[in-house]
Amino acid sequence: MDEQEDYLGAEFKGIAAELWSHNAGWWQEGFTEGADPEYTEQLLPLVERLVGPGRLILEVGTGEGQVLRHLSRTAPRELLVGVDPTPEQLGLAAERSQGELYLRAEAGSLPFRDACFDTVVACLVFEHVTDLEGALAEVARVLEPGGGFVFLLNHPLFQTPDSGWIDDQVLEEQYWRIGRYLEEKRTVEEVEKGVFIPFVHRPLSRYLNAARACGLVLEEMVEPAPPAGFLALAPEYYEARFVPRLLALHLRRS
Ligand SMILES: C[S@@+](CC[C@H](N)C(=O)[O-])C[C@H]1O[C@@H](n2cnc3c(N)ncnc32)[C@H](O)[C@@H]1O
């Protein structure tokens, strides 16, 4: 597959659904249950801090449920519900559940009544969602006024298609190259040998303005340095500690 191709909406949605089903095991083995230092050292503690004392919590694109399981252990909650369109993720989420509930649904069509959650979480999901406005409108609809949206993305500036480390042996320079940041594009990227994952790239302003249009207003933005356990995996890239991989937005429903 050509990672430069820009797919049409319906075609991309079909390909994306197949790829998520096909790669569910890859995700579960490599990124959950303590396998990934970015989750254990950074993502899970950050989500926990931003969710705070939330009690009625929905996670959109929940995968096998690691974020909700973490939230269930860290404070008293009344209801934890996760939705995901991928059956292979939901099966394992149900097996691993510590009381959280899981339903099959996608971000653009949430099967809940208006204003029934005080917190919505989306962790590394919206960079795979085609209809940004539709999905954000759904988040705003199911949140009660004053509710919080904890919104984590692969950093849209630094994770643009064609970004990556350049190790220039001649000039003895090492730097992170940024691809075409302003070009919105649907791509299928080979994230490791033989593993193809669908992405939708958009600039940060698209996310913030679309959220603002639904009444989701920025309260805090976090761009953390990669955690120590991640940096230790490739110590030769010293500059990596100055390039954030993650963007966290804490938005509030007005
Ligand atoms: C990178 S995984 C993250 C899973 C989980 N949030 C976590 O942090 O462990 C992305 C998840 O997004 C789901 N996903 C893909 N497209 C989606 C959509 N349109 N709506 C909701 N979830 C989607 C996939 O099935 C997959 O489980």
Strand ranges in 61-215 using DSSP code E only, listed in sequence order? 79-84, 101-104, 117-123, 143-154, 164-168, 173-177, 185-192, 195-201
Q: Mean pLDDT in the chain?
A: 95
Asked if 116 contacts 124 with a C-beta cutoff of 8 angstroms, the reply is no
102 CB under 6 A from ligand 1?
no
pLDDT on residue 213 = 98
From the alpha carbon of 107, which atom of ligand 1 is closest?
20
Query: The pTM is what?
Result: 0.95
Instruction: Give the distance (Å) from ligand 1 centre to CA of residue 222.
Output: 21
20 CB under 6 A from ligand 1?
yes
28 CB under 6 A from ligand 1?
no
Instruction: Give the distance (Å) from ligand 1 centre to CA of residue 125.
Output: 5
142 CB under 6 A from ligand 1?
no
**C-alpha 159 chain-centroid distance:** 12
Which spans in the chain are helix H? 9-22, 24-31, 37, 44-51, 66-74, 87-96, 132-142, 204-213, 228-231
pLDDT tens, 180-190? 999 999 999 99
The number of beta carbons lying within 10 Å of the beta carbon of residue 44 is: 21
Instruction: Give the distance (Å) from ligand 1 centre to CA of residue 236.
Output: 31
- Alpha carbons 133 and 111: distance in angstroms, whole number: 17
pLDDT at 4 over 70: no
Confidence band of 6 (pLDDT split at 50, 70, 90): low
61 CB under 6 A from ligand 1?
yes
pLDDT tens, 32-76? 999 999 999 999 999 999 999 999 999 999 999 999 999 999 999
Asked if 43 contacts 246 with a C-beta cutoff of 8 angstroms, the reply is yes
Our CA dihedral for 4, 159, 175, 232, rounded to 10 degrees, sits at: -120
125 CB under 6 A from ligand 1?
yes
pLDDT on residue 1 = 38
- Alpha carbons 175 and 93: distance in angstroms, whole number: 39
- Alpha carbons 47 and 39: distance in angstroms, whole number: 10
pLDDT on residue 236 = 87
pLDDT on residue 13 = 87
Query: What separation in angstroms does the CA of 193 have from each of 190, 196, 197, 245?
Result: 7, 8, 11, 21
- Alpha carbons 207 and 180: distance in angstroms, whole number: 17
pLDDT at 237 over 70: yes
127 CB under 6 A from ligand 1?
no
Q: Is 3 helix (H, G, I), strand (E, B) or coil?
A: coil
pLDDT on residue 5 = 59
Domain annotation for the chain: domains and CATH numbers: 9-155+204-253 (3.40.50.150)
- Tokens linked to 204: 């940060």
pLDDT tens, 102-136? 999 999 999 999 999 999 999 999 999 999 999 99
Asked if 156 contacts 202 with a C-beta cutoff of 8 angstroms, the reply is yes
Interval 209-226 mean pLDDT: 98
Interval 230-253 mean pLDDT: 95
pLDDT tens, 128-182? 999 999 999 999 999 999 999 999 999 999 999 999 999 889 998 989 999 999 9
pLDDT on residue 92 = 98
pLDDT at 3 over 70: no
62 CB under 6 A from ligand 1?
yes
Interval 189-212 mean pLDDT: 97
66 CB under 6 A from ligand 1?
yes
**Substitution candidate for ligand 1 out of 84, 100, 132, 192 with most atoms within 8 A of CB:** 84
